[in-house]
Structure 1
Amino acid sequence: MQASLIILGSGTSMGVPTLGCECRVCTSTDPRDKRLRPSAAVVWNGHHVIIDTGPDFRTQALNYGIGDVDAVLYTHSHADHILGMDDLRPLSFKHTGKIPLYADDPTARILETIFDYTFSEDSQYKLRARVRLNRLNGEACVNLCGVEFQRIPLLHGPLETGGYRFGNAAYLTDMNAIPDSSLSLLRGVEVVVIDALRERHHPSHANIEEAIAWVDKIGARQAWFTHMSHEILHAEIDAKLPPHIRLAYDGLIIPVEL
């Protein structure tokens, strides 16, 4: 079954342009150097599954015509991945039931704390988002609208994060290492979107060289780099990459097979 993986945001936690910065990337006129916080959507047959609702989610939904959401998968609890959850409110009002959210235990606890007015049984906020929080830990799978989404445990420095495999594709943001057990879950993946923060080393994100090595280990025929900082000038870095690897950009639509 044909589907589209839409890159809603390809930037890092501070976005690009970064506030207060006048570097050549932040002042670039190339639209591919304008990067909202990291997020993606898997779209097929009118269904929309969102991966992460960061602080730019409202803008991303408006930019790319997302007027309905069937489910949200969270990778981890950092602000650039969760703080737009409340923007699901108007979309949730269109549903007869609640939009299911899936997160590991640490992420679920932080969502419940930050958005206490949404999840607390004692909440008197009548216009709170109509969502249901579900725990998804380890290598668990969830079936969403007839499609299996496999959680892929990753390492983001000392923190475990969750990537996701769906059909022949995988989305692996915020990582600098993939455990061997997770590599086995990625066997057969043909298309991968993967963290590549910058050229220099970083303690919790893959850099360009490391991301290329992970793509080779996965064996994907096509790869797109995401979660890129303002040290990545799109035209310059993209030209250096192997033919099967490209830099993602906001609004990129990648064909995938579910």
Structure 2
Amino acid sequence: MKVYFLGTGTSQGIPVIGIKHPVCLSTDLKDKRLRTSVLIDWNGTKILIDCGPDFRQQMLRIDNDALDAVLFTHEHADHTAGLDDIRPYCFMESKAMPIYAQNRVIESLKRRFDYIFETVNRYPGAPSVEIHKIEPYHDFTINNKTIKPLLVNHGSLPILGYRFDHFAYLTDVKTLDETTYNQLQDLDVLVINALRIQEHPTHNNLKEAIEHIKKIKPKKAYLTHIGFQLGFHNEVQNTLPDNVFLAYDELILDI
């Protein structure tokens, strides 16, 4: 399994428009972050988690020419706003793109991208989707590969994380319940969000992310969904436990 970090930034990315903070002005490429998303290549099956506003740029950057499915963690724009740009994959394969999300998220996508979901008088240039409604703890398969959707709490909003064999991806986490902790045992790699040093009402700060990692006990953990307030990549990395790493755009893991 290969995991491509397409973006590791928070909802505004880094640099943020109009902000002159030193991290936003950094020349280190590891401090340049597009909106958070990963592409998983699981023995040739390519699965995208979240399709944010930087999706087109991300696909061009890694020269990705195939996509089997899109999984959504939740409905916020930094995780969904690139949905229209799946159209080249639909056209190349001459078929609808399978998308997987909670019912609430599907309904939100229908409101915002109504022309994609239109069944009468469809615009011929629109992408088409194949809807799969999923719920936490109800496993599903893509090309005979089992995926476990997990409940995580984005403040008071219940959203999804995903486990693929011995790899798990969680973003926009604030709290986890015991059922999810139990589903996250025996991991080789955990990805989890760490927004900044200061507390935030709906996202982990760095301390909270480390506490989740200590409880889950993966062999390795990577931090994502990072804001400029966390600090310079290399400086923060030097403060982390030996098995915890800051993810960065274009990082590729071979699991």
Short-chain TM bin = over 0.9
Match of 1:237 in 2: 236
SS in 2 for 1:175: coil
CA distance in 2, matches of 1:220, 1:48: 24
Query: Do the aligned residues in 2 keep the contact of 1:6 with 1:253 (CA within 8 Å)?
Result: yes
| TM-score of the pair, normalised by structure 1 | 0.96
CA root-mean-square deviation: 1.0
SS in 1 for 2:93: coil
Query: Do the aligned residues in 2 keep the contact of 1:197 with 1:207 (CA within 8 Å)?
Result: yes
CA distance in 2, matches of 1:95, 1:18: 36
Q: What are the superposed Cα offsets for residues 6-43 of structure 1, whole Å, 9 maximum, x if unpaired?
A: 11000000000000001011000010000000100101
Match of 1:77 in 2: 75
1:1-258 alignment, distance < 5 Å: 3-232=1-230, 233-256=232-255
In the alignment of these two chains, the number of paired residues is 254
Worse-superposed segment, 102-111 or 140-149: 140-149
Query: Do the aligned residues in 2 keep the contact of 1:35 with 1:250 (CA within 8 Å)?
Result: yes
CA distance in 2, matches of 1:183, 1:44: 24
**Given residue 35 of structure 1, which amino acid in structure 2 is its aligned partner?**
R
**Given residue 164 of structure 1, which amino acid in structure 2 is its aligned partner?**
Y
Deviation, structure 1 residue 123: 4.0
Query: Do the aligned residues in 2 keep the contact of 1:238 with 1:247 (CA within 8 Å)?
Result: yes
SS in 2 for 1:90: helix
| TM-score of the pair, normalised by structure 2 | 0.97
CA distance in 1, matches of 2:182, 2:89: 36
Deviation, structure 1 residue 204: 0.6
**Given residue 247 of structure 2, which amino acid in structure 1 is its aligned partner?**
A
Q: Which segments of structure 1 move beyond 3 Å, counting only runs of 4 or more?
A: none
**Given residue 148 of structure 1, which amino acid in structure 2 is its aligned partner?**
T
Q: What are the superposed Cα offsets for residues 137-184 of structure 1, whole Å, 9 maximum, x if unpaired?
A: 121222112211110100010001100000101000011111111111
Identical residues among aligned pairs (%): 39
Q: 1:128 to 1:244 in 2, by over 3 A?
A: same
Query: Do the aligned residues in 2 keep the contact of 1:174 with 1:195 (CA within 8 Å)?
Result: yes
SS in 2 for 1:199: coil
